Amino acid sequence: MAIEFEPEAPTVFDPSAQTPKTDAAGCHAGADVMNDAARKAGKSEVLDGLAADYPKGPHDQPQSMCPAFGSLRVGLRMRRTATILSGSACCVYGLTFTSHFYGARRTVGYVPFNSETLVTGQLYEDIRNAVTEMANPDEYDAIVVINLCVPTASGIPLDRLPAQINGVRVIGIDVPGFGVPTHAEAKDVLTGAMLRYARTEIEAGPVARPRNFDGSKPTVTMIGELFPVDPMGVGAMLEPMGMVVAPQLPSREWRDLYAALDCQVAAAVHPFYTASVREFERAGRPVVGSAPVGLDGTAAWLESVGKAAGIPDKKIDAAKAKALPAIKAALADNPIKATVTVSGYEGSELLVARLLIEAGAKVPYVGTACPKTPWSDPDREWLEAKGVHIQYRASLEQDLAAMQDIRPDLAIGTTPLVQKGKELGIPSLYFTNMVSARPLFGPAGASSMSGIVAAQTRGKDRFASMVDFFEGVGTGGKNAGHNLARRNTQVAEG
């Protein structure tokens, strides 16, 4: 594959142009201080781009894990891709711990720094040397370098790294916690950067053909991390339209990016991939929002995908006629008679709420840490027409207040929300575990998602008796222990 790249930008980092004061303040200095330092260090363009792609508000930032985890995860899941972190050791420790906790079986590279290497710009040289040392084309297609908070605030210019070394692509990105609000959106930072790189390769000439993909049929690229069964289920639903699913994004291998970009339609099923969507638009591909979830959602999604791809109405109707009866039957088999609140930071909260409502649940509140984008507008409109309050960029406090006001039969949410829900005797389910461990789309999603929620809501009485049993335990001094001992005695006697 003959690829010509732009002439490399000068790689000499001039520390005199920077004002890296952040080593002393560290990442605990506060977002404003870090932001100010980063701008003085030449990162204004990067931060303005992040602010435009990932708008904040109504408050600054939802509470979630370190945003950089999203980018790290995307890199670690790709074959023949090395990932290097540049950041404070404590941040790197937390990020590597989390990535291994979530099953990454890859080494995470780390270029350490101290005050001196940060201030003198030696850190940039150290990163460049590390990348050069690793750039073995027999092992890697790409090396990803991620600037965390302190190196971003210090202006470490990863954009000056060579675009490729020995044929190994080098992708340098800034993913500071003070610029990227959630780890969900950090997935988009890296995915978008890779797509941009791949698009320029396609424009420059022939590129490698993806493995196990013939490309003879029109394709749909699903944008968003999905349960593995979902792309297969969507493929079955597309079949009457003569379409197939392209390799999804974030991708598992570099060459899959080419096939993803070469689709007929891009489907932003997770609506926060703003930078990635931009690359599809630049490649001239139409992008559709929402997802094939529940009865109405699947019908509307098949319709919008078919229309965007120029498929005749007859074939679109055939696709709907095949998929919808099975979804209807699955929802009828798992009716939910309960009030449920939904909150999370995955970006699929609105889709889950749609499914629950179609299964019969009352969902008064949906909170999502992600921002409002055009790609979730169909879901927002559908939910609002059903009287649902949707809180974008929801804070933990807003999610907790909704749960406490509504007192639902089931609260689906983040870990602290689930913890609080259990304290209050409200059956609660961790959103990430629920959606990442089962399908969401089409007939499979309708039966599995509504099935688990229906089962959980049946346990309300059990929760109430547990709260009653443990009342006072762990909240006071020795009296609480006495309460538990007394109750244990009663149980033993009774």
Residue numbers of the site for ligand SF4 (CB under 6 A)? Answer: 27, 66, 68, 87-88, 91, 94, 148-149, 177
Q: How far apart are CA 375 and CA 187, in angstroms?
A: 16
Nearest CB to ligand SF4, comparing residues 92 and 226? 92
Look at the block and give the residue holding tokens 């990016």: 257
Q: How far apart are CA 349 and CA 365, in angstroms?
A: 10
Q: How far apart are CA 322 and CA 401, in angstroms?
A: 42
Nearest CB to ligand SF4, comparing residues 69 and 301? 69
Nearest CB to ligand SF4, comparing residues 94 and 451? 94
Nearest approach in angstroms of CB 110 to ligand SF4 is 13
**Which among 171, 131, 158, 120 is positioned nearest to 43, based on CA atoms?**
158
Nearest approach in angstroms of CB 92 to ligand SF4 is 8
Nearest approach in angstroms of CB 66 to ligand SF4 is 3
Nearest CB to ligand SF4, comparing residues 66 and 403? 66
Nearest approach in angstroms of CB 83 to ligand SF4 is 14
**Which among 326, 268, 266 is positioned nearest to 294, based on CA atoms?**
326
Q: At what angle do helices 31-38 and 44-53 cross, to 10 degrees?
A: 130
Q: Are 335 and 359 in contact (CB under 8 A)?
A: yes
Nearest approach in angstroms of CB 391 to ligand SF4 is 23
Q: Are 71 and 95 in contact (CB under 8 A)?
A: no
**Which among 251, 176, 267 is positioned nearest to 218, based on CA atoms?**
267
Nearest approach in angstroms of CB 84 to ligand SF4 is 14
Nearest CB to ligand SF4, comparing residues 22 and 251? 22
3 state SS of 194? helix
Nearest CB to ligand SF4, comparing residues 178 and 382? 178
Longest dimension (CA), the chain: 82
Nearest CB to ligand SF4, comparing residues 88 and 457? 88
CA atoms within 13 A on the CB side of 288: 22
Q: Are 366 and 349 in contact (CB under 8 A)?
A: yes
Q: How far apart are CA 470 and CA 373, in angstroms?
A: 44
Nearest approach in angstroms of CB 68 to ligand SF4 is 5
Nearest CB to ligand SF4, comparing residues 141 and 188? 188
Cβ-closest position to ligand SF4? 177
Nearest approach in angstroms of CB 149 to ligand SF4 is 3
**CA angle centred on 365, ends 361 and 367, rounded to 5°:** 125
